[in-house]
Amino acid sequence: MSSIKEVLGGKSRYKPLDIFDFSNISKKNIVLIVIDGLGYNYLTKYGKDSFLYKNLKGKMTSVFPATTASAMTTFSTGLAPQQHALTGWFMYLKEIGAVSVILPFTSRAGDLKLTKGKIKYKDIYNEKSFFEDLKTASTSIKHKAYIDSEYSRLVDKGAKKLPFSNLNGFFRQINKALNTTDNKKYILAYWAKLDSLCHEKGADSQEAKGHFNELDKKVKSLADSLKNKNTAIIISADHGLIDTKEKNKIIELKNHPRFVETLAMPLSGEPRVVYCYVKPQKVKEFENYVKTEFKNACEIYKSDDLVKNNYFGLFEPNKKLKDRIGDYVLIMKENYIMKDLVLGEDQSIFIGNHGGVSEEEMFVPLIVVE
């Protein structure tokens, strides 16, 4: 995002990429397509014959944690989680004293809409969007189900918004955005279905592979139609996924009551990166339990240490960051996941998961069609 911002005439504190010279496309329209869940390892494993692979420039790391809430906010702001402080799907909000589901902006317990309690997204998040200071005409393309959400209204501020309802509509809206004016354009287009299929069926599933092939053909068709039209297409992802199919790799806290007793509140974060808020009088018991019962499943870190060691990004952290990552962070090893359950919540254990630091999750592709 630093590279894109520079060629669009802006400035970023973060360094531009060194694996591709973005100055080559500085005078072109830029279409950034984010395919949720398209990890670099997935592409190199299952897409060797694809159009996307043929235009691969290299691999990048996602942000930490490697998850949609954190990474898509980075695509929409140009800031790391260190600055924007959206740290996972489940997030403790000190402002309201509850664990939230941060993108749909609901409570984790009971799935209650926080806006019904007169709480606004800007009460908990107030970073500038990537689009706000751009002089380039900008468009955000998202599914109609969430393009006008509280979250999207803030992170897409300054951009024209175009909704879609299916794959053909997605690519139609990209073309529509490109044909609006003769001026230089920047378009961010987000596609989520590959991630959904990997969650439900697994990254190695035929359903996910079939959808990848369908996407690949659509991107090639778009690229062919834009030849000699002064437009560059950049394709990347927010994260990859890793499959967990073995029951012994799924840690359900209902089977660990002694561990639950050490916690001050439910888990937040992701099944692969778990934020733990620990009762002060139970700290030693918490540490001992993790280091004995979970020693094969995860690494334990003090949350402050991860901030100091720049896991979440560089420079001064957002003042709200430390409140949102607990006292301890458990980073899962191999393909382990950890799950708990709160009142009013349906238990959902996915096959495909993300958020962790494995190569499958952390590496995303940089694909450029000039």
pLDDT digits (tens, 9 = 90+) for 236-252: 999 999 999 999 999 99
* Mean pLDDT (whole number) for 77-93: 97
Looking from the CA of 194 toward its CB, the CA atoms found within 13 Å total 27
Is residue 296 within 8 Å of 333, Cβ to Cβ?
Answer: yes
Q: Per-residue pLDDT tens for 115-154? A: 998 899 999 999 999 999 898 999 999 999 999 999 999 9
| Distance, C-alpha 96 to centroid of its chain | 24
Measured at the alpha carbon of residue 29, what is the angle toward residues 26 and 35, in degrees to the nearest 5?
A: 105
pLDDT of residue 349 exceeding 90, the answer is: yes
- How large is the greatest C-alpha to C-alpha distance in the chain, in angstroms? 67
pLDDT of residue 73 exceeding 90, the answer is: yes
DSSP 3-state assignment of 271?
Answer: coil
pLDDT value at position 182?
80
Residue 347 binned pLDDT confidence (cut-offs 50, 70, 90): confident
Q: Per-residue pLDDT tens for 194-203? A: 999 999 999 9
pLDDT of residue 7 exceeding 90, the answer is: yes
Residue 276 binned pLDDT confidence (cut-offs 50, 70, 90): very high
- Residue 329's nearest CA partner among 351, 301, 348 is 301
Is residue 170 within 8 Å of 141, Cβ to Cβ?
Answer: yes
Phi-psi map region of 215: left, alpha, beta (phi>0 left; psi -120 to 50 alpha): alpha
Starting from the edge strand earliest in sequence, which strands make up the sheet with 29-35, in order?
56-61, 363-369, 231-236, 29-35, 185-191, 137-143, 160-164
Residue 345 binned pLDDT confidence (cut-offs 50, 70, 90): confident
- Within 262-370, strands assigned E span 268-269, 273-276, 298-302, 328-332, 337-339, 352-353, 363-369
All domains of the chain in start order, with CATH: 2-242+359-369 (3.40.720.10), 247-353 (3.30.1360.180)
Six-digit token string for 171 = 């690519």
Pairing of strands 185-191, 137-143: parallel
Average model confidence (pLDDT) across the chain: 96
Residues of the chain with pLDDT > 70: what percent?
Answer: 100
pLDDT of residue 344 exceeding 90, the answer is: no
Pairing of strands 328-332, 273-276: antiparallel
* Mean pLDDT (whole number) for 211-231: 97
pLDDT of residue 190 exceeding 90, the answer is: yes
Six-digit token string for 18 = 């060194």
pLDDT value at position 149?
96
